[in-house]
Amino acid sequence: MTTVEQVTGAPGTAVVRRARRTARRAFRPRRSWPAFIAAVLVLAAAVLAGAVAVSAIAGVPLRVPVVGDALERAAGMRWSDTAVLVAAGGAALLGLVLLVSALLPGRARWAALRTDDPDLVVGLSRPALRRAVAAAARGVSGVRGVHTAVRRRAVRVRVDTELRERTGLRDEVQEAVEGRLDELAPLRRPKVRVRVRTAKA
């Protein structure tokens, strides 16, 4: 049976969904500093425990003043003591903060572009996207200067013009920027917000 995709050459819905899912995963921002902090803490504890174990086996117990005093003090405490509860709460809070920080997405540095091909992943950096948007806005007649800011869900464009009155300038800039975004085809289409600052009298 011949499908529409085979006749027209256009990718099917399932292929498009798989391509977009692949692009999202490829450019998903990851936060490495929570894992780095956890790794440093675990490494420090492992090194200290290893040094204490080796020194004990060698017959020369390692005396670490801070650790030794803490262990002696902890040995005489009970689970119901305030210090134990505070320390446990602090450790649980720190672990929760690291866990939430690792799960939440970081700031994306790349914008995934739609290709509809799961084997082709294309991304555009934020500075490049900002320059493309600025170039589109700068090409509108009457625009003297452009300032752009690319956010996760919005592109903010502020244009300066020497004309005191320019009917429809905002709409023209909006159309130019949106046309450029249509050409680039970002996977997540940001909203375009344009503001015009006219020359003062």
- Residues 6 or more apart whose CB falls under 8 angstroms from that of 110 comprise 27, 123, 124, 125, 126
Among 162, 149, 160, 159, smallest CA distance to 190 is for 149
pLDDT score at 156:
92
- pLDDT, tens only, 162-200: 877 767 888 999 999 999 998 888 878 889 999 988 766
pLDDT score at 8:
42
pLDDT score at 127:
86
Q: Name the residue with tokens 């027209």.
A: 8
158 forms beta bridges with: 147, 195
**Pairing relation of β-strands 191-198 and 154-161?**
parallel
Q: Which helix (H) or strand (E) holds 48?
A: helix 33-57
Q: Which helix (H) or strand (E) holds 87?
A: helix 82-103
- Residues 6 or more apart whose CB falls under 8 angstroms from that of 142 comprise 161, 162, 163, 166, 169
pLDDT score at 9:
46
Euclidean distance between CA atoms 49 and 150, whole angstroms: 48
pLDDT score at 26:
60
Neighbours of 41 (CB within 10 A): 12
- Residues 6 or more apart whose CB falls under 8 angstroms from that of 138 comprise 146
pLDDT score at 134:
92
Among 113, 90, 124, 99, smallest CA distance to 24 is for 113
Euclidean distance between CA atoms 29 and 12, whole angstroms: 28
Q: Which residues of the chain have pLDDT under 70?
A: 1-12, 15-16, 19-20, 22-32, 52-53, 56, 61-62, 64-76, 105-108, 166, 199-201
